[in-house]
Amino acid sequence: MESIRDFSDKLILWFLHATSSFGKELTREGRLEQEMWREQRLRNLKGLAIRWQQRHGRHKHQSS
Domain span holding position 39:
2-62
**pLDDT on residue 3:** 85
Q: Taking phi first (over 0 means left), then psi (-120 to 50 degrees means alpha), and beta for anything else, what does residue 27 get?
A: beta
The residue type found at 64 is: S
pLDDT tens-digit profile of 6-63?
A: 899 999 888 887 887 766 778 899 889 989 999 999 999 999 999 999 998 765 555 5
Q: Give residues with Cβ within 8 angstroms of 34, minimum separation 6.
A: 23, 26
Tally of domains in the chain: 1
Say how far apart CA 25 and CA 20 lie, in whole Å: 11
Tell me the pTM.
0.49
| Alpha helices (H) in 1-64, listed in sequence order | 2-19, 28-62
**pLDDT on residue 58:** 65
